[in-house]
């Protein structure tokens, strides 16, 4: 069981690295998007979609392995500290941010300038939420 | 002291996520270049360069925070098991592949097709080395 939960933790950390590809990579693409004329944007949007796919795989891994570890290592969420529950709240907010970004991205690709300008702050919010999740995880589990 | 080492560990994990932007983001952009992004080399290479710069910053943070955590949490490097030694070997290997990547990236930019092939192989090697570093870390400290 220890070996299994160690492997789960390894996958969890790899999920974090995969998630980082989208969380930190897409703002880089976003900065280029802002500086690019509308006709050049589809190219950069398709790169952003690629990085988002990597990030979604990471997010899936984090949620799946996180849930399994909570049950296998700690016997469930009962007895977890406030930091753990803060982490869960931030996780839900990050999920909502990811879903909302996907919707705004579709509108921006269709030429909606207002949606286009909303993408950068939403991306930065994702970075802040990810850093908050990691901080609360460190304080919850040591 | 516990707060300091927790904050260092937070920085360490955040740098892992930032490093993920380079280790997983660069191959994602490269994969896109070989498919839907064919012919968009200048945009693709510029993004790959930025992601690589982020990866180097992450490596720096990991190298600084890692030893500090070792001293603050464990009183130094004495007493670590073979997994820790293996992790250090892979950390050095990752540094070597990052340097090689920078050399081949410069050659690729100058039009060397052979260097381009090497660059793609190094992207895969980087993923494998990162997976092994994290695996060794989990077994060394878990």
* Token pair 């016997």 in the structure block, residue: A75
Q: Which of A87, A94, A92, A90 is nearest to A141 (CA)?
A: A87
From chain A residues 17-76, the ones with a CB under 8 A of any chain B CB are 17-21, 23-25, 28-29, 32, 40, 43-44, 46-47, 50-51, 53-54, 58
> The complex's ipTM?
0.92
pLDDT at A98: 95
Q: How confident is the model at residue A42 (pLDDT cuts 50, 70, 90)?
A: confident
Number of domains in chain B: 1
Which residue range(s) make up the domain with B89? 2-141
Residue ranges in chain B whose pLDDT is less than 50? none
Q: How far apart are CA B126 and CA B128, in angstroms?
A: 5
Q: Which residue of A6, A51, A139 is in closest CB contact with B139?
A: A6
Give the alpha-carbon dihedral of A95, A97, A98, A102, to 10 degrees. Answer: 140
The pTM for the full model equals: 0.93
B65-87 confidence digits (pLDDT tens): 999 999 999 988 888 999 999 99
Q: Which of A27, A81, A35 is nearest to A55 (CA)?
A: A27
The secondary structure of chain A in percent helix, strand, coil, rounded to multiples of 5, reads 90, 0, 10
pLDDT at B2: 83
pLDDT at A34: 85
Q: How far apart are CA B37 and CA A44, in angstroms?
A: 9
pLDDT at B43: 84
**Cβ of B50 and A28 within 8 Å?**
yes
DSSP conformation letters of chain B: -HHHHHHHHHHHHHHHHHHHHHHTHHHHHHHHHTTTTTT-HHHHHHHHHHHHHHHHHHHHHHHHHHHHHHHHHHSSSTT--HHHHHHHHHHHHHHHHHHHHHHHHHHHHTT-HHHHHHHHHHHHHHHHHHHHHHHHHHHHH-
Q: Which residues of B sit within 8 Å Cβ distance of A?
A: 6, 9-10, 13-14, 16-21, 23-25, 28-29, 31-32, 36-37, 40, 43-44, 46-47, 50-51, 54, 130-131, 134-135, 137-139, 142
Number of domains in chain A: 1
Q: How far apart are CA B108 and CA B113, in angstroms?
A: 6
Q: Is A45 exposed, middle or buried (0-12, 13-18, 19+ CB in 10 A)?
A: middle
pLDDT at B63: 97
Q: Which of A122, A140, A108 is nearest to A27 (CA)?
A: A122
Q: What's the whole-number average pLDDT of chain A?
A: 93
| A142 has a pLDDT exceeding 80 | no
Which residue range(s) make up the domain with A105? 2-141
């Amino acid at each position: 069981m220890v070996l299994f939960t160690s492997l789960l933790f390894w996958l969890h950390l790899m999920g974090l690295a995969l998630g980082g590809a989208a969380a930190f990579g897409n703002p880089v693409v976003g900065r280029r998007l802002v500086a690019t004329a509308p006709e050049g944007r589809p190219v950069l949007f398709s790169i952003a979609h690629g990085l988002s796919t990597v990030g979604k795989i990471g997010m899936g891994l984090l949620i799946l392995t996180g849930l399994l570890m909570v049950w296998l290592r700690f016997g469930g969420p009962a007895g977890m500290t406030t930091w753990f529950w803060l982490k869960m709240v931030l996780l839900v907010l990050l999920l909502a941010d990811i879903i909302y970004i996907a919707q705004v991205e579709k509108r921006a690709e269709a030429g909606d300038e207002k949606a286009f300008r909303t993408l950068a702050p939403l991306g930065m919010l994702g970075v802040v939420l990810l850093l908050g999740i990691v901080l609360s995880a460190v304080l919850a589990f040591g | 002291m516990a707060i300091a080492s927790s904050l260092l560990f937070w920085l360490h994990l955040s740098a892992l996520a930032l490093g993920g932007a380079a280790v997983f983001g660069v191959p994602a952009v490269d994969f896109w270049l070989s498919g839907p992004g064919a012919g968009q080399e200048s945009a693709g290479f510029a993004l790959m360069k930025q992601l690589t710069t982020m990866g180097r910053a992450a490596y720096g943070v990991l190298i600084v925070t890692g030893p500090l955590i070792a001293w603050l949490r464990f009183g130094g490097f004495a007493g670590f098991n073979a997994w820790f030694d293996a992790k250090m070997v892979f950390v050095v290997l990752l540094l070597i592949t990052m340097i090689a990547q920078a050399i081949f990236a410069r050659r690729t930019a100058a039009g060397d097709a052979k260097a381009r092939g090497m660059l793609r192989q190094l992207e895969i090697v980087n993923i494998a080395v990162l997976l092994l570093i994290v695996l060794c870390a989990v077994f060394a400290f878990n």
